């Protein structure tokens, strides 16, 4: 595991559990205590956690940093592919279903797998993601609608009033939603208000909402909340998700699917 991914998982665990211990982290990631101390120092310097004697505690400030799309594609790739495979089970069973596909790298991974499914060419798919629309059309799917509006360069997502007015007239059997963060108190959140508005509209206008969220995002909190927990039906995450967090989601009536990575 690369240091960057290990640090993201440490940040997530700290956010979920409130406090982490150097010795326990060293055992979990099979590295030295000194390596973990360097990780915590780096996370503290970035303002993600606060170092204390023997470990670190969560920093409760809301996050605002967004990473470029190419960096996000390179991050947690195995987990995202596993999540995408596990999410296939929530695609419409019958031909002709309606699907919302949000922007995001996990959703894009799902889209590429979905394009190979037997009923793929019968589905009506709506997305605000330029990469996803391009991939699906290249795969030969004709019933793909890309929302109109303004394109955000950092995420290649279409946002704005035109997209929102279009979504207000639509309904879908299932919405697959990506998120920058997921907490029990703040629900789903992201850094940009315009992307949050599109995500929220997809959630509101879908019969079923399936969230794709790798474990490094659990417990983090971004500035703009776009959906509470009671608006979510399913969360698909990876096997590294903290047990306590998974249990709490289950207690809230949310189905949690833990995706297993292929060896």
Please tell me the distance from the alpha carbon of residue 225 to that of residue 135, in angstroms, as a whole number.
Answer: 29
Classify domain 3-58 by CATH number.
Answer: 1.10.10.10
Reported pTM: 0.78
CATH architecture of the domain with residue range 69-259: 3-Layer(aba) Sandwich (3.40)
10 in Cβ contact with 43 (< 8 Å)? yes
Share of the chain above pLDDT 90, in %: 63
**Extents of the domains making up the chain:** 3-58, 69-259
Find the distance separating the first CA and the last CA of the chain, reported in whole Å: 14
Q: Kindly list the distances between the CA atom of residue 89 and the CA atoms of 55, 67, 169, 218, in Å, as whole numbers in the listed order.
A: 40, 29, 27, 22
223 pLDDT band, cuts 50/70/90, is confident
Buried b (16+ CB within 10 A) or exposed e, 177-216: bbbbbbbeebbbbbbbebbbbbbbbbbebbeebbbbbbbb
Q: Given pLDDT bands bounded at 50, 70 and 90, which one contains residue 9?
A: confident
Q: Which residue has the tokens 């959140």?
A: 189
Question: Does residue 44 or residue 255 have the better pLDDT?
Answer: 255
| Fold match, 3-58 / 69-259 | no
């Amino acid at each position: 595991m690369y240091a960057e991914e290990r640090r993201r998982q440490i940040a997530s665990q700290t956010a979920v559990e409130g406090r982490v211990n150097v010795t326990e982290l060293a055992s979990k990631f099979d590295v030295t205590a000194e390596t973990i101390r360097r990780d915590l120092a780096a996370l503290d310097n970035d303002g993600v956690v606060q170092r204390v004697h023997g470990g670190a505690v969560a920093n409760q400030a809301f996050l605002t940093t967004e990473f470029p799309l190419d960096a996000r594609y390179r991050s947690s790739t195995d987990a995202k592919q596993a999540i995408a495979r596990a999410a296939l089970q929530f695609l419409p069973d019958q031909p002709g279903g309606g699907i919302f596909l949000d922007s995001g790298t996990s959703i894009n991974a799902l889209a590429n797998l979905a394009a190979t499914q037997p009923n793929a060419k019968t589905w009506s798919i709506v997305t605000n993601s330029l990469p996803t629309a391009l991939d699906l059309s290249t795969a030969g799917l004709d019933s793909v609608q890309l929302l109109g509006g303004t394109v955000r360069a950092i995420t290649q997502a279409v946002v704005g009033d035109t997209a929102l007015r279009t979504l207000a007239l639509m309904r879908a059997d299932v919405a697959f939603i990506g998120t920058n963060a997921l907490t029990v108190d703040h629900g789903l959140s992201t850094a940009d208000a315009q992307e949050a508005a599109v995500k929220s509209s997809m959630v509101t206008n879908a019969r079923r909402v399936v969230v794709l969220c790798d474990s490094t995002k659990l417990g983090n909190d971004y500035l703009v909340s776009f959906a509470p927990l009671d608006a979510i039906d399913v969360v698909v995450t990876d096997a590294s998700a903290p047990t306590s967090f998974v249990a709490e989601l289950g207690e809230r009536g949310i189905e949690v699917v833990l995706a297993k990575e292929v060896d």
